[in-house]
Amino acid sequence: MLDTILYPLEWFVAFVMVSFHQLFTTIGLRPESGWTWALSIAGLVVVLRVLLIPLFVKQIKSSRRMQLIQPELQKIQKKYKGKKDPESRQKMTEETMELYKRTGTNPFSSCMPILLQSPFFFALFRVLNNLGKIADGRHDPIGLLTKNLASQAESSTLFGASLSSTFLGSHETSVKILTVMMIIVMSATVFITQHQLMRRNMPAAALDNPMAKQQKYLMYLMPIFFAITGVNFPIGVLIYWVVTNLWTMVQQFYVIRRMPTPGSEAEKALEARRRAKGKEIKKLTIPGLNSDSDDDADDADLAKTAGTPGTMTASGTQAGKTSGQRVQPSSNKRGKNAKGRKR
């Protein structure tokens, strides 16, 4: 059953690896070199992450929407606080789902890139694990990964370690040293990624919620997880893991700098840079988050809690829309509305 499900992914993994191997061989790298095969695995990571960019963009937008609707979620939670009866719990769930629907927010979209990468990760594990069997004819070739190429990949080494070797399955010192070094790099990249996310891209108020505390624990537990699992994976899989983590770290740095979470230190830094360059400062709001009947005091309080201090604008131009989120330049629009109601 598992073979049937994973075979198309194994075929894709083998196709991408062999294609990059042929490319690197064409430009002058030795086909039997472990570096050539290691770069082919890195190429697989690049292809997968490029294919996942649309989902990553959705993940960013969903994450920003989730931050903006936190005050409304807190209102719902406060409304049903202490109510344990089934009817109240059902109403709380319905109101929460209605809020998600009304604001176009999906709390699970942030998990999609990771979930979609996992099958390819296991497919690569199976391809590398079967290199020896393909090489000696005990396993059928996988796509472009023929018997000769599998034998070539199996015999190739990186710093003296075979790409299919594991820490626990080998007595070679080179395998153990390389595995430990890659586990350290994996742990460091995950720690840096999570640390910059929590230190620069989360509002101060959000750091006190249970989810933020879980992320903090995760930041310190991941090195232990890598140490436990990494010793069981082939060197080639660890290469895939290291390159993936490096890509994530750089990608996260770019996103935090260019598209920070509302109310975070990164957003303040971005506004300061734009202000210094004389550029317009824009804020993101979600259409439908507040009803027209909300008074200005409630709107201001909600914006303050969400980390979006008002909707400032430059020149009374009409606000544009970006992917379901309304961009409002700074203006005295709310003040005008208030005067109109006062009159």
The pLDDT value recorded for residue 110 is 62
Q: Which domain holds residue 314?
A: 280-342
Q: Are residues 153 and 178 in the same domain?
A: no
One pLDDT digit (tens) per residue for the chain, 343 residues:
667 788 899 999 999 999 999 999 999 999 999 999 999 999 999 999 898 888 787 777 777 777 777 778 888 888 888 888 888 888 888 888 888 888 777 776 666 667 777 888 888 888 988 888 898 888 889 989 999 999 999 889 999 999 889 898 888 999 999 999 999 999 898 888 888 877 777 766 556 665 566 667 777 787 788 888 888 899 999 999 999 999 989 988 888 888 887 777 888 888 888 888 888 777 666 665 654 434 343 344 434 434 433 333 333 333 333 334 444 444 444 444 444 444 4
The pLDDT value recorded for residue 214 is 66
Q: Are residues 284 and 139 in the same domain?
A: no
DSSP codes, 102-145: HHT--TTGGGHHHHHHHHHHHHHHHHHHTHHHHHTTSS--BTTB
The pLDDT value recorded for residue 180 is 93
Quote the CA–CA distance of 46 and 54 in Å, as a whole number.
14
Q: How many domains does the chain have?
A: 3
First to last CA, the chain: 72
Residue 132 inside a domain? The answer is yes
Quote the CA–CA distance of 263 and 123 in Å, as a whole number.
40
CB 156 within 8 A of CB 36: yes
Domain end residue (candidates: 266, 295, 318): 266
CB 226 within 8 A of CB 175: no
HSE toward the beta carbon, residue 310, CA cutoff 13 A: 13
The pLDDT value recorded for residue 120 is 85
The pLDDT value recorded for residue 291 is 42
Residue 153 inside a domain? The answer is yes
Domain end residue (candidates: 113, 128, 158): 158
Residue 184 inside a domain? The answer is yes
CB 314 within 8 A of CB 267: no
Q: Are residues 1 and 150 in the same domain?
A: yes
Residue 28 inside a domain? The answer is yes
Q: Are residues 154 and 175 in the same domain?
A: no
**Strands 161-162 and 320-322, sheet pairing:** unpaired
Residue 223 inside a domain? The answer is yes
The pLDDT value recorded for residue 178 is 94
DSSP codes, 176-229: HHHHHHHHHHHHHHHHHHHHHHHHHSS-GGGGGSHHHHHHHHHHHHHHHHHHHH
Q: Are residues 135 and 251 in the same domain?
A: no
Q: Are residues 154 and 214 in the same domain?
A: no
Q: Are residues 13 and 140 in the same domain?
A: yes
The pLDDT value recorded for residue 204 is 62
Cβ neighbors of 189 (< 8 A, separation 6 or more) are 242, 245, 246, 248, 249
Place of tokens 């820490």: 167
Q: Are residues 205 and 256 in the same domain?
A: yes
Domain end residue (candidates: 244, 266, 288): 266
Residue 260 inside a domain? The answer is yes
Residue 163 inside a domain? The answer is no
The pLDDT value recorded for residue 102 is 80
CB 109 within 8 A of CB 59: yes
Q: Are residues 113 and 37 in the same domain?
A: yes
Residue 273 inside a domain? The answer is no
Q: Are residues 176 and 123 in the same domain?
A: no
Place of tokens 């544009």: 320
Q: Where are the beta strands (DSSP E) in the chain?
A: 157-158, 161-162, 282-285, 320-322, 325-329
Q: Are residues 125 and 17 in the same domain?
A: yes
Q: Are residues 200 and 234 in the same domain?
A: yes
